[in-house]
Chain A
Amino acid sequence: MRLELGTFNVREIAFGPRTHFAAGRLEVNKEEVLRAVFNDVRIVKADLEIARPGEPVRIWPMRDVIEPRIKVEGPGVCYPGICGRSIATVGQGRTHRLAGMGIVEVANVDWHGAGGDYVEDYLDMAGDFGQIYPMSRLQNLCLVVEAEPSLGNESQNYAVHQAALAVNDAIAATVRDQEPDTLEVFELTEVDPALPKVIYIQCVHSPQAMSGSRTAFCTATYGMTQLAPPWWLHPNEILDGALTGPYRTAFACSWTVANNPSLWEFYRRHGKDWNFLGTIVFRTEWTTQHEKELMANQAAKLARHLGAQGALVTWDAGGNEFIEVIRTVQACEQLGIKTVFMTTEDVAADGAPTLLMPLPEADAIVSCGFFRTEPVDYPKSPPQQRVIGNPQKVTGPLRDRFVPTAGELDAPPKVEDFYGFNSLSCTE
């Protein structure tokens, strides 16, 4: 699989009479782009707003951030499979992308109707808390969208996300026929056979357990969100958005997955430091020990069978999903695969371990800091002048109170830098 990725750097977004891109400036004809959104009868309300880095703007509820990408040559569409999009295998030919910007999906739809999973993150384009997220440094085109309220929760989820993808398709089309600022070739070329073979095992939460549904909306693998056994993806497929869609937290959204610095770094050093074998995607939150161990064993077996001598394991969730993730680390080590595990930590108390279930094989761990904000003393987020989205923000442990979104807010309860974007960590 050979993929040419053409990057167009966006420095500015403005509304104007034409939807087009030139010299770093994206101009958007609002009506034209929204027409594509309203093509779907499930959408009853939609608007576009622009949020620039450094502006005193707060975006809430932030469901997803998507980097505009489009296939120029080769089969399939970017962000395949989800919302009924073509499932043709992607990762070949040529793809163009608009870097330095995001399409932000802003909607009052929680992830599923079964309880327990709610949209919790807001994005401040200025201020200390916003700086934690790479998305606060993007030129953000925000789609504030509502689906027909009589639709079930699952349908509303897919409707609003499809609307965001409609915006993606319209915006990314502006650069389809242009020459990019940079063009990179992504290919797992043959390399020096002496180089060690490495694989990336990316554990991705499935909403199936929490929602009771195999089709609940979440991060999707070619549109599938259900619990599934280990699935090998060529990294080009991920560059084309085969693993996409948001999850519960800001660090697991379409943008962070498509720009996963771990994946890009693996690729960058292919042929220099190692022979990169690609990614095994492994859906998590199985609900019996039996299934958790089975998946871990099978993921490790697949890695071994592909020739892996080393592996990086990451995950994007919390709670009991840790079990199948750490068991994967263990299973890999037991098969002779040298494994590094990157994770966040819980707060230490009286010497208790900061990982849910430590295992001796997990002897090479990179910590991306505490995942709870409360003990780290994040300051409250200051009042903002402008809100994109809902002027009321739900709050309280029972989610039964509302405060003005523009006012002073508590930091979101968690910051989970799953893919190691930042340098904050923990130490003794």
Chain B
Amino acid sequence: MGIPVGMISAIYELPLNTGANRVIRGARIEHVCGDPALGPEKDYAYGMRIVKAAIETLQTPVERPTLFNPLEMDPLPHLATAEAPHAT
């Protein structure tokens, strides 16, 4: 049995076209999981949204290459709304 893979990429069309089945839209090539221009708090929140979305896809059935847009999802909604500050 295969292992589901959530692939996070800012240039998501390439993985979709080459057969990756769970593709999550990343921010930008140079900083895929977050955006330093947003300042530390918002950068972290954005990155967290992306990673949560990616984890969510691992429990989502798909039939073909599918794009998941973190900003259009409410991933892992059962988690507490206050996101834990990240360890440094």
Contact = CB atoms under 8 A, between A and B. Distances in A.
Give yes or no for direct A-B contact (beta carbon below 8 Å): yes
Interface of A: 209, 212, 287-289, 292-293, 320, 323, 356-359
Contacts of A358: 17
B13 A288 contact: no
Given A287-B10, A289-B13, A357 B29 contact: no
B9 to A, nearest CB: 8
16 contacts: A209-B29, A209-B30, A287-B11, A288-B10, A288-B29, A289-B11, A289-B12, A289-B25, A292-B13, A320-B11, A323-B13, A323-B14, A356-B14, A357-B17, A358-B17, A359-B17
B42 interface: no
Interface centre among A288, A358, A359 (most CB of B within 10 A): A288
A106 to B, nearest CB: 32
Contacts of B11: 287-289, 292, 320, 323
Contacts of A357: 13-14, 17-18
A293 B10 CA distance: 12
B10 A289 contact: yes
Interface residues of B, number: 12
A248 B18 CA distance: 27
Interface string B15-53: 001100000010111100000000000000000000000
Nearest to B25: A289
A348 to B, nearest CB: 15
Contacts of A292: 11, 13
A383 B27 CA distance: 48
Contacts of B13: 289, 292-293, 323, 357
Contact of B29 (A287, A293, A359): A287
A356 B13 CA distance: 11
Interface centre among B12, B27, B28 (most CB of A within 10 A): B28
B14 A287 contact: no
A323 B13 CA distance: 8
Contacts of B17: 357-359
Name the 7 nearest CB pairs between A and B, nearest first: A287-B29, A357-B17, A288-B10, A289-B11, A287-B28, A288-B28, A289-B12
Contacts of B30: 209, 212, 287
